[in-house]
Amino acid sequence: MKQFKKFSLVCLFILVSKFTAMAQVTGAFWVKGDTSKFYPVTFADGGWTSNVATELEIGRSNVHNDSWWRGSVIAKFRYHVTSWGNGSNFIDADIRQYSNVANLNKMIAGWRDGTGANSSARIIIWMRGNTSYNYNANYAVSPVIYDGEQQLLPYQEIGGPAHSFKTAVDSSVNVYGSTYNSSAYFIGGGTNYMAGKLAIGTFNPGNYKLAVEGTIGARRVKVTQGSWADFVFYPDYKLPSLEEVEQFVKTNQHLPEIPSAKEVEKEGLDVGEMNKKLLQKIEELTLYIIEIRKESTAQRAELEMLKKEIKKKD
């Protein structure tokens, strides 16, 4: 009976320990320093030894925490560190934040796996200074703040670089949305809708709905055009004379109605519009060739008549 009680206590202890380790962990911390800087805060990967990803939520629901319009943020990090080379490592982030005060609208500037050459089991998140934060996690994350006061700067990554504060958000950080550390496959056959802009190989799509920094490969490209160049063949089309074209080319070093090299370099090229312009020039060339052929035919006929006249005289 005593052995059974002892065994039961051991099992109960194991179960309590297991559920305690898996219980939600909540807390709060203050990053000191300046609001114009982002300081490294390290968080433990508490789920690593349990073979699951750690899920860390960082929140500030009230924009008036700490001071008027200081800002709000709801962010979630899901991560698993490499711990000296284990290949299943990743850090995924989803961030929603708001502030109407200039230069105070961002609270998270970047992140990094801090275990490339060590087993410290910690990630680094750069967070805005002079701001309070709350957190919730599925495992203990034990935040440590390197703001020059609570912990001295820089934070020295074991076997890696030293990390100080940032003054700007990393370009790879989606400040209002999701940032994923790996590829995404959408294998459904339905429509994938995107209301905003799409940038590939660049973080700045400019005024374009789709911006690609690099080469696009496709089997077919279809451009919808509002008009085409067949107006060249209309009876009322005024075909420029070859003398006029020659004078224009001498003066401008490009064909009429075709953008110059400087214009293309500055403004880019509208593929559909350029195809229309090129077709217009081909159609104009066709008319020139037809005209030249008519002249040539007439000249040959005239030459044949002259030959016959010469033979008669002989």
Q: What is the pLDDT of residues 115-166, one digit of tens each?
A: 999 999 999 999 999 999 999 999 999 999 999 999 999 999 999 999 999 9
Q: CA dihedral defined by 201, 113, 138, 149, rounded to 10 degrees?
A: -120
The tokens describing 266, both together, are 């500055």
Q: What confidence tens digit (pLDDT) does each residue in 190-245 have? A: 999 999 999 999 989 999 999 999 999 999 988 888 889 999 999 999 999 999 99
Q: How far is CA 234 from CA 68, 197, 238, 283, 284, in A?
A: 69, 40, 9, 11, 12
The tokens describing 109, both together, are 């500037």
CA 166 to chain centroid, in Å, comes to: 21
State the Cα–Cα distance between residues 281 and 294, nearest whole angstrom.
Answer: 20
CA 7 to chain centroid, in Å, comes to: 57
Q: What confidence tens digit (pLDDT) does each residue in 27-67 have? A: 999 999 999 999 999 999 999 999 999 999 999 999 999 98
- Across 172-182, b (16+ Cβ under 10 Å) vs e yields ebebeeebeee
Nearest to 69 by CA among 32, 35, 34, 110: 35
CB-CB contact of 43 with 145 (8 Å): no
pLDDT value at residue 10: 44
Q: What confidence tens digit (pLDDT) does each residue in 62-117 have? A: 999 998 888 899 999 999 999 999 999 999 999 998 866 555 678 999 999 999 99
> In what helix (H) or strand (E) does residue 9 lie, and over which residues does it extend?
helix 2-22
Longest pairwise C-alpha distance within the chain: 145
Residue 3 has pLDDT above 60, yes or no: no
Nearest to 51 by CA among 26, 95, 18, 24: 18
pLDDT value at residue 4: 46
> In what helix (H) or strand (E) does residue 73 lie, and over which residues does it extend?
strand 72-80
Would you say how long the chain is, in residues? 314
Would you list the DSSP string of 12-43? HHHHHHHHHHHS-EEEEEEE-S-TT-EEEEEE
The tokens describing 12, both together, are 């109960």
Q: What is the pTM of this model?
A: 0.78
Q: Is 245 helix (H, G, I), strand (E, B) or coil?
A: helix
